[in-house]
Chains A and B, each alone.
Chain A
Amino acid sequence: MSEVEFIEVLSNEEIDLIEEAASHVPDRPSAAIEALQIVQEKRGWISDQSIGAIARLLGMSAAELDSIATFYNLIFRQPVGRHVVMVCDSVSCYVMGCDNLRVAVEDSIGVKPGETTADDRFTLLPIVCLGACDRAPAMMIDDQLFGPVKADDLPGILEQFE
């Protein structure tokens, strides 16, 4: 593929946002993580095609960008559902029963951690301490934080996310 085609994978809006991010750092590759986040925000995840396009735009190799993308757990290199459910599994939540909460979530949506529901509605992921330990056990769906969550609260919480 030619250079132009690579860049055309990104929308004008994405390119503008990435250029804006790149203007806040001394060199373009330094905006790599922001760029990945910008594209993920629009598309839900980062495909190989996106890696190629972002790398080209920032003037770095796709392999280098991929090794960065795979380092960070909030960059998804695989498709995820419309909503990402993250149940905290760190120490304060452990003390307050996060294992039971995770099982209740698994039972409610019918998938195990790392899996996506058949209707693409939810992906369940483990997450480290959400900084909400006074509200343990805590969980996050997309950008919303919940806690303390009792198994009984789950249906009401989940139904907010179609």
Chain B
Amino acid sequence: MSVELKPLTGRIDDVGGLVSLEAYREAGGYEAARRALTEMTPGEVQEIVKEANLRGRGGAGFPTGVKWSFVPDVEGRKYLVCNGDEMEPGTFKDRYLLEYDPHLLVEGMLIASYAIGADQAYVFLRGEYHEPYRQLDAAIRAAREAGLLGDGIFGTSYALSLDIHRSGGRYICGEETALLNALEGKRANPRTKPPFPPASGAWGRPTIVNNIETLCNVPGILSHGAEWYQDLGIGEDSGTKLYGVSGRVNNPGLWELPIGTTIREIIEVHAGGMMEGYRLRGILPGGASTDFLVEEHLDLPMDYGSIQAAGSRMGTGTMILMDDSVCPVGISLNLQHFFAQESCGFCTPCREGLPWLEQVLADIEAGRGEPGDLELLDKNAAFIGAPGNTFCLHATGAIEPLQSALKYFREDFEEHLATGRCKYRDVMPVQESAG
């Protein structure tokens, strides 16, 4: 029952914790993969995923079935790579899926690999994810032993091997072409596109990169059909979404809800509203690299189109709330510190520009700002963030929260310049960053 309404987390709710292979199979697990491999052609699997309108949950929202169809029909090795880097600050959704229902990912990857003709799949997992690694590793071993991976799966001639690559760190590894370089044991600099990974990816072979949550949606679509999946969503988008809230709310956490649930419902009903004595001021709707939204946006549905129309991105769907005890300049400095530190250093506007932005913000925050600083920030942020001026979207993502903070919280920046001090510090002393 709950699995039909909550295909990603319903099993976890039913079992009340980690879903073992037995529990997963008892709940109908691996039957979708069996049907795909024994009764459907790879093309038919692609078609149903396309029809379901599953869109990438890694941040960009690209239609998954369409991406799969870009894999050329050529002989030789093809790869499926699952992006389990989850390093976007404020994001903690993929961790949950791996820690509690790792077989859902294994089955999703089995179906996806079959659909694109891959015989080797990898999960690229961030290095700090120790518990998710233990659970996924155990699940892969159990699946191998049960004949769900390896040669001749379900008595067919299809074979798949699935391995985990544990990352050595760095946010840029999440960018799909940087990820492929890391997977190949190299430095994680992004690659020139085109060629795009479906044409030439890991070791120069056709490769599909998909997020963990994206792949976890696949078994449900195969079990219940494209129409069922479309009907799960409230607005234009299909399916459910793992939404998260962090910050000063009564009940921070993660919930699987129909995609298109409003921001207000997520914050007020599921996250239990703001803690007493704190007022909501800003929302980073989908991780650190998305533009701030404010109170007037609370009634927007959290779907790709609505959030984009409001000038931001749904991103990973895990939102970070800024309350009225948090300094907008301080949070902007924190964000730029992250992006400057995580620049891979490949192109100049990002390598030189982001630390410069960080320094200007640090000066303003410390009361050393100068007249004209804000206009200078506006101008340079626009230059650094313009797609095309940098090699990958890291710099663009870095600029989004800054430009929106300068827009929505400008009076706070101006007050720092005018008074040479931070009034938030007077209320809640924060230590000078040692970094």
Residues in chain A within 8 A of chain B (CB atoms):
24-27, 29-34, 36-37, 67-68, 71-75, 86, 89-92, 94-96, 99-100, 102-103, 106, 112-113, 126-136, 140, 143-145
Contact = CB atoms under 8 A, between A and B. Distances in A.
A26 B201 CA distance: 13
B248 interface: yes
A100 B430 contact: yes
A99 B335 CA distance: 14
B248 A99 contact: no
Contacts of A99: 430-431, 433
A75 to B, nearest CB: 5
Interface stretch (B1-9, B56-64, B123-131): B123-131
Nearest to A70: B187
Q: Which applies to chain A's interface (DSSP): helix, strand, loop or mixed?
A: mixed
B328 to A, nearest CB: 11
A72 B169 contact: yes
Contacts of A100: 430-431
B187 A90 contact: no
Given A91-B334, A95-B320, A134 B89 contact: no
Interface residues of B, number: 62
Contact of B247 (A96, A132, A140): A96
Interface string B114-140: 000000000000111111000000000
B187 A112 contact: no
Interface of B: 77, 86-92, 94-95, 126-131, 161, 163, 165-171, 182-188, 203, 244-248, 252-254, 284, 288, 318, 320-323, 326, 330-331, 334-335, 337-338, 341-342, 430-431, 433-435
A53 B62 CA distance: 43
B358 to A, nearest CB: 13
A8 to B, nearest CB: 23
A113 B88 CA distance: 22
B254 to A, nearest CB: 7
